[in-house]
Amino acid sequence: MHPSLLQDAGCPKEIPHNEKLLSLKYESLDYDNSENQLFLEEERRMSFLGFKCLEISRWVICGLIGFLTGLIACCIDIAVENLAGVKYFVVKQNIEKFTEVGGLSISLILWAVLNAAFVMVGAIIVAFFEPGAAGSGIPQIKCYLNGVKIPRVVRLKTLVVKVCGVICSVAGGLAVGKEGPMIHSGAVVAAGVSQGRSTSLKKDFKIFEYFRRDTEKRDFVSAGAAAGVSAAFGAPVGGVLFSLEEGASFWNQMLTWRIFFASMISTFTLNFFLSIYNKKPGDLSSPGLINFGRFESDVSGLLGALFNILNYWLTIFRIRYVHRPCLQVMEAMLVGAVTATVSFAMIYFSNDCQPLGPDQSEDYPLQLFCADGEYNSMATAFFNTPERSVRSLFHNPPGSYNPLTLSLFTLTYFFLACWTYGLTVSAGVFIPSLLIGAAWGRLFGILLASITPDGSVSVGGYMTSLWGYMTSLWGGIVRMTLSLTVIMVEATGNVTYGLPIMLVLLTAKIVGDYFVEGLYDIHIKLQSVPFLHLEAPATSHWLTAREVMSAPVTCFNRIEKVGTIVDVLSNTSTNHNGFPVVVPVAASDDMGKVCGLILRSQLIVLLKHKVFVELARSRLTQRKLQLKDFRDAYPRFPPIQSIHVSQDERECMMDLTEFMNPTPYTVPQETSLPRVFKLFRALGLRHLVVVDSENRVVGLVTRKDLARYHLGKHGLEEMQLAQT
């Protein structure tokens, strides 16, 4: 999603920028516990009380996550408000000074420079210190919850850069929101708090050690993302749904939509017939909405698709040509300056003056060339943080804006927002799309009023259509489902619009999906992330595990020579992460029978602690390794190169029995792809061993083997693997 993510190792020669490629650099998270002997022993040793304590500490951690996320959101809010306040105050003073004496170009330059300066700071810290903090962070969190380990996405440094970055970009007047970064922040907080230590700060509090594994961490990260949504939109239930939609392995989105559809029809039918029975036909809560849903949200779906396509091309351009940090910073500054210039020009050439009423809610009303007691209406939209502009557009009485202002604003802001998303700054797309939607909604409301015979539209219908527009554009861009409705309902505090909002979202999604995927999905694809959707492609019953799996597989014996293990792990050309452990079949040079699965990370820890069986001596000399050793090393296991194994040690043996997962999930090789997919996805697997009828290893299915297949225009397509 972020071009900068690709900068990991300098500037790779071949950058995957094609959605037909799958990158191999992303590893999977292991949502399936490795139930080895150590783990089982610990679980069996633990009393019922022990489990209760664990349960309580989970609640405590969730409380902490919520608290810290709220605090961070609060800091961002306050910082943005103050910085933007200072900026607009300075610029306003300047404009007022020069309006009379002439020479407004100085004001323009001041504004542009201020913007560019803020944006520069924001872009520099992102581009040079932590490229992972770029963008909204929502695609990354989506991937993380899907089970893909995006490098450095939940680190403390990312959090710091993200928070500072978003403050700078919003204060810098970019067409961005701060909601996405808040969600990302919540996730980082969760990943940190739940581990009871900070690897970056080298501080271990020696608590919550039980939670140091992917399974538990992912659960907490989903809580963190929910807390972020909750802080960003004031929508706790929406937050939960967001996390579940993205995180729950078995949440079937299509099914959810269908269920919702049935629910809506049911409520509607009931209300319709009851209203007829009560002799007030048409007295539904919002009658005109069915029409609205049919037509205008089609348009929103189209607009959203247009936004996504433009942004898609832009992103490809960026991946190809704007991948140096300094270029990225310069682009961001350019956008900042252009935003200021365009805004200024808009305000300057607009002659839409509105009286400054006593109920004036503008923070920085610009008089400019208007008469005394009036203000420039265009300035309420442009000379403000996007969030406040939304509020103005929504709350100002009808007639505050003339159609020309609105249409110019909508058009300009659409392209600005589209250009801005994907810049190397920390920023979200929610508020801009809401803003465009709101402006467009107002515009359409005015047009509608001028067409209708009596020249007026009911306030209720007008407001609803505003909500509808705001949501539908957002929906058209991001294509989220149930959670979006609930977030909108909670954010607006008005449940009445829930039904129309959902209808609008549904239409926008269907129309938009016809042309192009959602914005987040586009960015995920462009990064070649092996993202697993809920189900295998419909027409993939042709494929079986035999065709899908990777083979041959590197296997280890139960008792394996250290040298062999080191060699396999050091082989950068294969770079496998999981190895079946086998029992050799007597009198045969075939593959052995599978008896376990061991992970690279486990082997690394074993090698680091030199858990070798000196064949000659008794086993008693072996240092007894604890689960704690594995947990201490989690999640940043050292690379194999950093572990020194002497020539003597290479001849030693290692007994893997105790450490391997003795009951890995296996499937026969005739299993169909949808079946393999279901198992993999439902259990959150990282490796699935494929066996023959004799229980011998014939292959291994990993995430990239499954993510390779997708449904194209002409049926099933297979993606290529990229090595970057």
User: Is 614 or 694 the residue whose CB approaches a second copy more closely?
Assistant: 694
Give the count of residues interacting with a second copy (CB under 8 A).
111
Q: Which range touches a second copy (CB under 8 A), out of 62-70, 156-164, 402-410, 441-449?
A: 62-70
**Window contacting a second copy (CB under 8 A); options: 39-47, 101-109, 131-139, 466-474:** 39-47
CA dist., res. 360 & res. 366, Å (int) = 12
Q: Which of 499, 597, 603, 611 binds a second copy (CB under 8 A)?
A: 499
Strand 374-376 and strand 203-204: the pairing is unpaired
Choice between 300 and 671, CB closer to a second copy: 671
Query: Which pairs from 370-379 meet CB under 8 Å and 24+ separation?
Result: 376/347, 376/350, 376/352, 377/350, 377/352, 377/353, 377/401, 377/402, 377/405, 378/346, 378/347, 378/350, 378/352, 378/405, 378/408, 378/409, 379/347
Using CB under 8 A, which of the segments 253-261, 330-338, 356-364, 429-437 binds a second copy?
253-261
CB 329 within 8 A of CB 539: no
Q: Nearest Cα to 227, choosing from 199, 196, 188, 178?
A: 188
CA quadruple 294, 299, 303, 308: dihedral positive or negative? positive
Options 89, 261, 313, 321; binder of a second copy; rule CB under 8 A: 261
Judged by CB under 8 A, which stretch of 16-24, 58-66, 366-374, 459-467 contacts a second copy?
Answer: 58-66
Please say which residue, 48 or 349, places its beta carbon nearer to a second copy: 48
The contacts of residue 275 (CB under 8 Å, 6+ apart) are: 281, 282, 283, 284
**Which token pair is 336?**
């900042």
Taking the complex as a whole, the smallest distance from the CB of residue 58 to a second copy amounts, in Å, to 6
Binding mask 196-235 for a second copy (x = CB under 8 A): -----------------------x--xxx-xxxxxx--xx
Nearer to a second copy, 257 or 637 (CB): 257
CB closer to a second copy out of 330 and 583: 583
Rounded distance between C-alpha atoms, residue 179 and residue 137, angstroms: 10
Output the furthest CA–CA distance in the chain (Å, rounded): 100
Residue 103 sits in the site that holds a second copy (CB under 8 A) = no
Residue 253 binding a second copy, by CB under 8 A: no
Binding residue for a second copy, selected from 172, 177, 239, 301, defined by CB under 8 A: 239
Smallest separation, CB 260 to a second copy (Å): 5
Least distance in Å: CB of 320 to a second copy? 33
Scan for tokens 């709220």, then name that residue.
Answer: 70
The nearer residue to a second copy, 5 or 190, going by C-beta atoms, is 190
514 counts as binding a second copy under rule CB under 8 A = no
What is the distance between the alpha carbons of residues 555 and 565, in angstroms, rounded to a whole number? 10
Task: Map the footprint of a second copy across residues 285-314, applying CB under 8 A.
Answer: none
DSSP conformation class of 561: E
C-beta separation of 402 from 351 below 8 A: no
Candidates 375-383, 394-402, 630-638, 663-671: pick the segment binding a second copy (CB under 8 A). Answer: 663-671
Q: How many CB atoms lie within 10 A of CB 256?
A: 16
Q: Which amino acid is at 415?
A: F
Which of helix, strand or coil describes residue 326?
helix
By CB under 8 A, which span of 270-278, 419-427, 448-456, 563-571 interacts with a second copy? 270-278
Touching a second copy, residues 665-724 (CB under 8 A)? 665-668, 670-672, 675, 678-679, 682-683, 691, 693-695, 711, 715
Query: Would you say 499 or 640 has its CB closer to a second copy?
Result: 499
Residue 67 interacts with a second copy (CB under 8 A): yes or no: yes
Amino acid at 611: V
709-712/353-355 β-pairing: unpaired
Q: Which of residues 530-549 bind a second copy (CB under 8 A)?
A: 538-539, 541-542
| Binds a second copy by CB under 8 A, chosen from 135, 147, 172, 186 | 186
Asked if 595 contacts 583 with a C-beta cutoff of 8 angstroms, the reply is yes
Residues with Cβ < 8 Å from 327, sequence gap 6 or more? 321
Find out whether 224 and 69 touch, Cβ atoms under 8 Å: yes
Sign of CA dihedral 385, 426, 175, 441: negative
The residue range among 254-262, 292-300, 624-632, 697-705 that interacts with a second copy, by the rule CB under 8 A, is: 254-262
For the beta carbon of residue 538, count every other beta carbon within 10 angstroms.
10
Site track 568-607 with a second copy (rule: CB under 8 A), x = hit: ---------------x---------x-x------------
Q: List the interface residues with a second copy, window 105-134 (CB under 8 A).
A: none
The type of residue at 317 is F
Binders in 334-393 for a second copy, by CB under 8 A: none
| Beta carbon of residue 701, minimum distance to a second copy (angstroms, whole number) | 13
User: For a second copy, which residue of 98, 128, 129, 260 counts as binding (CB under 8 A)?
Assistant: 260
By CB under 8 A, is residue 460 in contact with a second copy? no
Decide if residue 404 touches a second copy (CB under 8 A): no
